[in-house]
Structure 1
Amino acid sequence: MADSIQQQLQQLVLLSDSVGTGTAGAGSGAVSTVEEAMEQLGPLVHSVYRTNKQKMFQKQVDVFAQRKDAEIMKLCGNYHQEFVQSVAQLLKVRQNTSELQEKVVGLNAELQMSGKSLYEKKAELLGLRREHRNIQSAVDTVKGCLEVVRMAAAFDEQVSTKQYYSAIKTLSSLKEVYVPQIRKYAFGKILESSIPKMETKLQGAALSDMKDWLYGLKKTTRDVGRHLTNRMEKKQKMWAERDSSIKERYFVSSAVQFVLDEEFDHDDPVSVEMMPLYQCLHINEKLGRRAEFRRNFTEDRSDQLNLILATQVQFALASLKPFENMLHDIIGFFIVEHIILASAPDFRSKSDVDTLWDAGIAKLSDIIARNIQQIREDNGVAEVLQQILTTFTYVMEENAYDVRKLRELMMAVFGA
């Protein structure tokens, strides 16, 4: 009976193994499913309890279990060394993994530190670059300001040394190029506000030179008047000689006489230094003050003519020299006006000069009219004065001035 129970248990174990592996021997009558094993276990247990063989069954089960334990121990003993080696290797791998993890953690920490340091360096570099740009911008601005200061100093130097053309170019560069670049700075605003003062300084310097020129022109104009008067006296002598050699006397006008005398007139042309005037005109044009300058120049010339005609004269034979000098001054004065009219017609118009000429003749006529009685009382004075005025008339007519009022005056005073 025990052998039978043991065989049945053995068969159940084999059945259990075959179920685990999915196979069973066909000749042993083993089943291939758990349900079949349970079906065989049930009758076995039922048989044990029916025959009252529980102890025997338990004993056989224990024996069977001991045998299986022995088999398991044997199996484990066979694979224990490999298992131990595997465990050792696993522990070693685990240790290596831990070490690697520690190294990775350490490397990560180092990387974090390096990254932080790199970030700080990058931030520092960006800050330095900003500072460099700011410094470079400041340097460029300072250079620009220094150039402006240099040009402003050069302007003052040019004005003081009368280099007016260079000064106007420097001022133009300051206004159009440099001041717009530094206008946003306080220095630029101060300089920009100083531009009108610089313009006024330049204009004042050029105008001062022109005033000096006008003042010094008095002697020059008298020399010009004297030169033209002497030349006209020579022509008058030539006319007299020509008239005396002509048997049939025909009236020849002064205009025809001028044409006939052109081939004999070899004198150098009258030359008057006009540079201060043209220079002042150019500067005022560049500064946009041409109209103002023209108005002031007209007033100055009118005052200068009045000053000439205010000369104290006496109509005595021994005292006609001041009057003759006054006529020389008038000739020179209007020769200058003639030159200005020819060289700068858009500045000095013919109507301006004609107005001045008419005013001058009117005042000259008034001077003679006030002394008409004294002139007529002395034939010598009348004769010399007539000759002087005749020469004066010819000179002015030769330079394209209207002398009809002069001739009317001479007809009224001398009856000729």
Structure 2
Amino acid sequence: MPARLEPTFDNGPAVRQIIAPGTDAEFLDHLIEGMHGANPTELVHSLERMAVDRDAEIEDMCTSNHQEFINSVNELDRGRDDCTSLGSEILNLVQSYQTNTDNLAAQKKNLVDSRSVRQNVDESADSLRQCLEVLRLSNQVHELVGKQNHYAALRALDDLRSLLRLRESSRYKVLELIEKSIPATQKMIAEAVMTDLNTWLYHIRDVSQYIGEVAMFNTEQRRTRQKERGATDDYLATFKLNSPIELVADETDEFDVLNNEEAEVNVDFTPLFECLHIHEALDQLESFRTEYAITRRRQKELIVPTVLRLTDVEASELKELLESIVGFSIIEKATMRKTEGLRSAVDVDELWDSMCQSAITLMSSAIQTVDNAEMLLKVTGVVSLFIQTMESWGYHASSLNHFLMTLFEKYAFLLKKRCSEDFQEIVATDDYMPMPISTIEEYDKIIDVGWYTPDKPREEIVFPCVLPFSQMYPMCCIDIRNFLNQVYSAPDDTINRSSLIDETIRNSLDELLSDRICQPLIERLRSQYPGQIVQILTNFEHFERACIELQGDLAQARAARSRTGPVVLKATKDFHAARQKARDRIFELVNSKINDLIETAEYNWNAMGPVTEPSNYMTELTRYLSNIMNSVLLGLPTDVKDLIYFDALSNAATGILSLPLDPSVPAISPSAMQLLVLDVQHLTSFVAALPQPTSTQLQRRSTSSNAALKDAPVLLNRTVEELSQTISLMASEDPNEFFDISLRSKKYAAVDARNGPVLLDKVEKGSHGGAVQGDGASMMSTNVGGKEKTSERFRRMMGGLRNVGEANRD
């Protein structure tokens, strides 16, 4: 045992405090406190000494109580053995009790299980009954869907939903699944009914063209019935198709284009009604409207092709297109009328306008290549029938009517073009000779087609005969009548004839008659052949009469359409003016020939020998006038022929009178005067032998040209009156009568007061000139005496002129 260390100071309290705490934290706290202010070495020695003391105490205690400790240990061993025995017995008892308890628990569990199974069986049976009822309704829904009884299926589905609410479907998995499947079943019903609707729409698309064909056929039948009513009743004839009067008159003939046994057409709207009703019940009406509108818009696009060809004479592609549009539009209108809220008027009109514009675009492109008037007329008829059919269903057709007017204008243009080409060929190939007729059949045909009234009755005409006009006139009349008939054959129920057809006909006829007949004939007036010009003049006259008759026919046709007012053709004035040009051309040619003959006159104004026969030019002139009037101009109307005679004779008289008045003629010898008298007498005799005209126009022209002779009974004699009286004055034995106003007005009223003195002076000079030439020795005295006499006579002449002038002023 180590030696004890003697403490240098007392650390007892500190050591006790250090070893007293029961926790490490307190121990450390007291240790730190004991070490504070003390020597650590001494504290260690104090603790070691404390440990030694305690070991000694324990050793003393063990040494003194060793036997008692051993005895206690033995007693404890014996007690432990007894406890072990008792424990084994207790375990045996517990095991026996546990066995009995387990048996009782098993029996009780069997009892409880039996009761639970019975309750579960009862509950399962009740649940099964509930589920079977739900399953029965569910199966019934699917069976109804399979039978396409969609609305009944939807009603059964509503019953199923109500039953699921009563049965608290969340308790059962199968019922929960069935309840969750209800929206899918509703969707299945909606899809099934939409499938039926699409099938119905596909069927409608297939039969749309046939429906349109039947509808347009019915419209054609209504047209026929209306024409028959109009033929028997003029009042009904004034009403157009689809007018209220026509609808009332036609209401006895009932016709349902959508349900017609004769046409084997039966459009059943049941699928549409069912689909509409089901979507309304599903509260999906708005989406159904949208989907239905999209479907119909797609079907509309399938109706309208990309290209339209007008290659066959029946315009089959166009008819198919328009019939499809008619059927589609009728279904749309019927859908709008039979349902409420599915199709609005705006939607239907929008589709209609779209189809119209597409059809007009296609037709406008197709007719660009059409140059056949008959084909265009067929197209016009089909479009017109289409418009009337659509108007009977309440569709507006303003754009189609405008397009129909465009079609009519092109149709009239093609007819005019064809007629213009015919006229051009007729004018170019005409022989410009009066038209010969061999048989009465030909005569009747010409009378029927031409606006011509013969002078003689049909019974008095002897064949063969000759008509005044050339063959171009009846040929042109035939073309004009064909043109009018073809224009009027255009459908008139939709075209406003009063503003379009009348104006088109008037303009076309003016262009054809003026530009294709009148103007080419005017250009042919440059010909030098009077016979051709005479024939052209005759043709002008008949064309002018034809224009007047045409104006009456057009006015009557306008009156038949409840329009009044005359129809004036510009061509009438053009032919009248052309006829005047032809007359002037004939006058020009005849007068030119007369002037040429007069220019060949060879008067020797100083001739001295006797004269017994008229001049050659005079006999040639009268022969020319006689021949041309009795041959070339024979076919002219009497008034025209009289005017030509009048003008030609007046021109001849003026030309003959101008010969002695020529300033280059200083004097007229008695022999020359005698020849001039013979020529004038020859001309006067020729005029007197001519038949006197009775034309009012010629009388008016004669009296206006010479007012002093307005009361003269013979008209043609007036043309040579001035010439005859002037020559008589020149040959008079007493020329001074001319200067006596009273005698002059009786014998020389037609003589020009200015020409008379000049001619008398030339005759006076010629007579004296003849005397001088006869005797040269006495020429001087004769000339002096002649000068004196001439001066005196000149003064008397001047005084007479003054008196004549004063008389004229009075």
When normalised by structure 1's length, the TM-score is 0.64
Query: Aligned-pair distance for 1:264?
Result: 4.2
Give 2:323's aligned residue: 328
Q: Which amino acid aligns with 2:283?
A: G
More helix by share: 1
Query: 2-side partners of 1:166 and 1:215: how far apart?
Result: 25
Query: Aligned-pair distance for 1:134?
Result: 5.0
Query: Aligned-pair distance for 1:219?
Result: 3.1
Query: 1-side partners of 2:254 and 2:306: how far apart?
Result: 33
Query: 1-side partners of 2:236 and 2:183: how far apart?
Result: 69
Query: 403, 415, 422: which one pairs with 1:409?
Result: 403
Give 2:273's aligned residue: 278
Structure 2 gap ranges (5+): 1-106, 260-266, 410-494, 496-810
Query: 1-side partners of 2:235 and 2:349: how far apart?
Result: 39
Q: Does 1:185 align with 2:180?
A: no
Cα separation, partners in 2 of 1:156 and 1:242, compared to 1, 3 Å: same
Query: 302, 310, 318: which one pairs with 1:315?
Result: 310
Give 1:99's aligned residue: none
- The alignment-based identity, stated in percent, is 24
Query: 1-side partners of 2:372 and 2:303: how far apart?
Result: 26
Query: Aligned-pair distance for 1:333?
Result: 1.1
Q: Does 1:212 align with 2:199?
A: yes
Query: 1-side partners of 2:312 and 2:130: how far apart?
Result: 73
Query: 2-side partners of 1:245 and 1:177: how far apart?
Result: 73
Query: 372, 381, 396: which one pairs with 1:378?
Result: 372
Query: Aligned-pair distance for 1:233?
Result: 0.6
CA contact (8 A) 1:221 1:331 kept: yes
Give 2:350's aligned residue: 355
**Deviations 1:42-94 (CA, angstroms, capped at 9, x unpaired):** xxxxxxxxxxxxxxxxxxxxxxxxxxxxxxxxxxxxxxxxxxxxxxxxxxxxx
**Deviations 1:17-37 (CA, angstroms, capped at 9, x unpaired):** xxxxxxxxxxxxxxxxxxxxx
Give 2:288's aligned residue: 293
Query: 2-side partners of 1:301 and 1:257: how far apart?
Result: 35
Give 1:262's aligned residue: 250
SS in structure 2 at match of 1:315: coil
Query: Aligned-pair distance for 1:180?
Result: 5.4
CA contact (8 A) 1:225 1:329 kept: yes
**Deviations 1:364-390 (CA, angstroms, capped at 9, x unpaired):** 111112223124x22112111111111
What does residue range 1-400 of structure 1 map to in structure 2 within 5 Å?
A: 128=115, 135-179=121-165, 181=167, 182-245=169-232, 251-254=238-241, 255-256=243-244, 258-268=246-256, 270-271=258-259, 272-310=267-305, 312-318=307-313, 320-375=315-370, 377-400=371-394
CA contact (8 A) 1:312 1:322 kept: no
Query: Aligned-pair distance for 1:276?
Result: 1.0
SS in structure 1 at match of 2:318: helix
**Deviations 1:233-253 (CA, angstroms, capped at 9, x unpaired):** 111122333344456897424
Query: 2-side partners of 1:262 and 1:136: how far apart?
Result: 78
Give 2:32's aligned residue: none
Query: 2-side partners of 1:283 and 1:250: how far apart?
Result: 51
Q: Which moved more, 1:175-184 or 1:341-350?
A: 175-184
Cα separation, partners in 2 of 1:367 and 1:257, compared to 1, 3 Å: farther
Cα separation, partners in 2 of 1:153 and 1:140, compared to 1, 3 Å: same
Q: Which amino acid aligns with 1:330?
A: I
CA contact (8 A) 2:211 2:257 kept: no
Query: 1-side partners of 2:184 and 2:140: how far apart?
Result: 15
Query: Aligned-pair distance for 1:229?
Result: 0.9
Q: Which amino acid aligns with 1:232?
A: T
CA contact (8 A) 2:308 2:366 kept: no
Query: 1-side partners of 2:172 and 2:235: how far apart?
Result: 89
Cα separation, partners in 2 of 1:262 and 1:238, compared to 1, 3 Å: closer
Q: Which amino acid aligns with 2:137?
A: M
Q: Which amino acid aligns with 2:229?
A: R
Q: Which moved more, 1:231-240 or 1:309-318?
A: 309-318
Cα separation, partners in 2 of 1:257 and 1:227, compared to 1, 3 Å: farther
Aligned residue pairs: how many?
A: 293
Query: 1-side partners of 2:188 and 2:211: how far apart?
Result: 33
Q: CA RMSD in A?
A: 2.7
**Deviations 1:205-251 (CA, angstroms, capped at 9, x unpaired):** 11111111111112332222111111111111223333444568974
Cα separation, partners in 2 of 1:323 and 1:170, compared to 1, 3 Å: same
Q: Which amino acid aligns with 1:178?
A: L
CA contact (8 A) 2:310 2:367 kept: no
When normalised by structure 2's length, the TM-score is 0.34
Query: 2-side partners of 1:158 and 1:334: how far apart?
Result: 34
Query: 2-side partners of 1:190 and 1:205: how far apart?
Result: 22
Query: Aligned-pair distance for 1:259?
Result: 2.2
CA contact (8 A) 2:219 2:385 kept: yes
Query: 1-side partners of 2:292 and 2:369: how far apart?
Result: 37
Query: 2-side partners of 1:149 and 1:179: how far apart?
Result: 14
Q: Which moved more, 1:341-350 or 1:237-246?
A: 237-246
CA contact (8 A) 2:134 2:164 kept: yes
CA contact (8 A) 1:258 1:398 kept: no
Query: 2-side partners of 1:287 and 1:322: how far apart?
Result: 43
Query: 2-side partners of 1:256 and 1:171: how far apart?
Result: 51
Cα separation, partners in 2 of 1:288 and 1:180, compared to 1, 3 Å: farther
Query: Aligned-pair distance for 1:165?
Result: 1.9
Q: Which amino acid aligns with 1:175?
A: R
Query: Aligned-pair distance for 1:273?
Result: 0.8
CA contact (8 A) 2:314 2:378 kept: no
